[in-house]
Amino acid sequence: MAKKKYEESNIANIATTIREKIGTENTYKTSEMADGVNEVFEVGKKEAMQRYWSRFTMDGTRLNYAYSFSYCDLSGYEIPQGLCMPTRNNSYIFYSYLGEELPKGIDFSLQTDENIAYYPSHSGFAFSINLKWIPDMNLKAVPVYNATYRTCRKLKGIEIVRCNENTTFPNTFNECSELEYIRFEGVIGQDINLQWSPKLSLESLISLIDCLKQYLDGDQADAYTKTVTLSAESWALLKAEEPQEYWWEDQIYNKGWNFA
């Protein structure tokens, strides 16, 4: 009898612990205890991952994320909500990333001083040969997109690339042969080369042209010193959709740009 009461007491204590851990008032039969314990395990995993990412981000104070996700595959993984990763150095952050998709929930919104100096974005996603889509992670405009997307040969789309008139694009899109979609935000004021990407959509090409700096206003010292380079396929697409002959060439040329 004493043993039975002891076992019943233990079961009751386990049930109480389950209710406390998962925040429920459910009652549990003995046969349901295993499911309850599994629910506690899942809650524990979430709490442990929250603690891990809090330490990983130094509670939102870490600024250098170089090589943070290199040589790994986090496809289908979701970063715990409420975590912000302010960054000024995203060089090599996803260098040689192995997955087809990036983890969900990454937010690099800068919560620190807006005047903070950004490091050049060197090879941020370079050689991620399986990656297909890069979502907006609130990365700010950087001084240089140096080989940022180089050799992402399966990359289909980049949700947004933020830039300013001083941002440069050396080897940024080299070997992005499957790239179909990209949206630019800000002002493009330096040479840009997308000749490796013959499958770009009309929407993407218009986004590029719309962001080109107008060099024929005011001081024209830099007029016709910068060049937009596109593939033959991209030029053919623009010509097929233009309202009149040479429309898109004129749009570029009338902003003080060369084109190739």
pLDDT of residue 9: 47
Selection from 36-50, 109-123, 225-239 with the highest mean pLDDT: 225-239
| H-type alpha helices, 185-246 | 202-211, 232-241
How far apart, in whole angstroms, are the C-alpha atoms of residue 18 and residue 165? 57
Residues 114, 226 within the same domain: yes
In this structure, the chain runs to a length of 260
Q: Which of 26-30, 60-64, 244-248 has the lowest average pLDDT?
A: 26-30
Is the pLDDT at 23 greater than 60, yes or no?
Answer: no
Give the domain-ending residue among 56, 72, 100: 56
DSSP state for residue 31 in the 8-state scheme: G
41 and 102 housed in the same domain: no
Strongest mean pLDDT among 42-46, 105-109, 110-114: 105-109
Reading the block at residue 209, the tokens are: 């042209």
- Are 160 and 253 in the same domain? yes
* Same domain, yes or no: 128 and 106: yes
Q: Which domain holds residue 179?
A: 61-259
How far is residue 155's CA from residue 129's CA, in Å, rounded to a whole number? 8
Q: What pLDDT score does 12 carry?
A: 54
* Pair (214, 142) in one structural domain: yes
Q: What is the mean pLDDT of the chain?
A: 81
| Nearest Cα residue to 126 out of 167, 74, 174, 77 | 174
User: Average pLDDT in the 165-189 region?
Assistant: 97
pLDDT of the residue at 8: 44
High-pLDDT (> 90) share of the chain, %: 48
The answer to whether residues 67 and 121 belong to one domain is yes
Q: Are residues 27 and 51 in the same domain?
A: yes
pTM of the model: 0.79
Q: Helix 202-211 and helix 232-241: axis angle, to 10°?
A: 90
70 and 193 assigned to the same domain: yes
Q: Mean pLDDT: which of 29-38, 81-90, 225-234 is highest?
A: 225-234
Helices 2-22, 33-56: crossing angle, 10 deg rounding: 40
Q: Report the number of distinct structural domains present in the chain.
A: 2
> Which domain-ending residue is among 56, 79, 95?
56
pLDDT tens sequence across 109-159: 754 455 555 666 789 999 999 999 999 988 888 889 999 999 999 999 999
Residue 245: pLDDT band (50, 70, 90) is: confident
Dist. CA 23–CA 20, nearest whole Å: 5
Last residue of a domain, one of 56, 75, 93: 56
pLDDT over threshold 70, residue 102: yes
| 91 lies in the same domain as 39 | no
Q: Which two tokens stand for residue 254?
A: 């009338």
Instruction: Give the model's pLDDT for residue 177.
Output: 98
pLDDT at 4 (0 to 100):
43
Percent share of the chain, pLDDT over 70:
75
Q: What is the largest CA-CA distance in the chain?
A: 98
Note whether 17 and 69 are same-domain residues: no
Q: Are residues 121 and 231 in the same domain?
A: yes
Neighbours of 89 (CB within 10 A): 19
Q: Are residues 2 and 75 in the same domain?
A: no
Residue range 215-227: average pLDDT? 89
Residue 24's pLDDT is 57
Model confidence at 39: pLDDT above 80: no
Rounded mean pLDDT of 190-213?
Answer: 97
